[in-house]
């Protein structure tokens, strides 16, 4: 239920081109494992971080994974599940590639 509320907040934040930070909240994996993370979103991008600075990405299967960068330099789900597997060191304080950040900035400038 809590995730539905946050999904509504995400859509609202995007719709109003505003910044949203959920603060640290408890999230639940489909198998019931809980972990603490924050969701940060604006109209151009969003990401999740644990309280110890690991970047996360939700997978298509509903699980949250430690993030890696895909070939475009954007966050992608790894094969390591948050709260279940050991965190990936590459996910620690992970940021999008410089090229991807420039693309996001260019998009902001066009709109």
How far, CA to CA in Å, does 45 sit from each of 2, 4, 86?
Answer: 21, 19, 26
Overall number of domains in the chain = 1
Q: What range does the domain containing 39 cover?
A: 2-110
Taking every pair of C-alpha atoms in the chain, what is the biggest distance, in angstroms? 42
| Confidence at residue 5, expressed as pLDDT on a 0 to 100 scale | 55
> What are phi and psi for residue 54, nearest 5 degrees?
-95, 135
Q: What is the mean pLDDT of residues 5-20?
A: 58
User: In the predicted model, is pLDDT for residue 10 greater than 60?
Assistant: no
The Cα–Cα gap between 94 and 33 comes to 23
Question: Whole-model pTM?
Answer: 0.77
Q: 96, 103 in Cβ contact below 8 A?
A: no
């Amino acid at each position: 239920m809590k995730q539905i509320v946050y999904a509504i907040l995400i859509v609202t934040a995007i719709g109003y081109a505003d910044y949203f930070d959920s603060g640290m909240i408890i999230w639940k994996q489909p198998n019931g494992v809980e972990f603490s993370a924050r969701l940060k979103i604006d109209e151009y991008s969003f990401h999740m971080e644990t309280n110890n600075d690991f970047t996360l990405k939700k997978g298509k299967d509903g699980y949250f994974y430690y993030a890696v960068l895909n070939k475009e330099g954007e966050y992608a789900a790894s094969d390591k599940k948050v709260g279940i597997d050991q965190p990936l060191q590459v996910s620690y304080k992970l940021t999008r590639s410089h090229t991807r950040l420039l693309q996001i900035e260019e998009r902001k400038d066009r709109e």
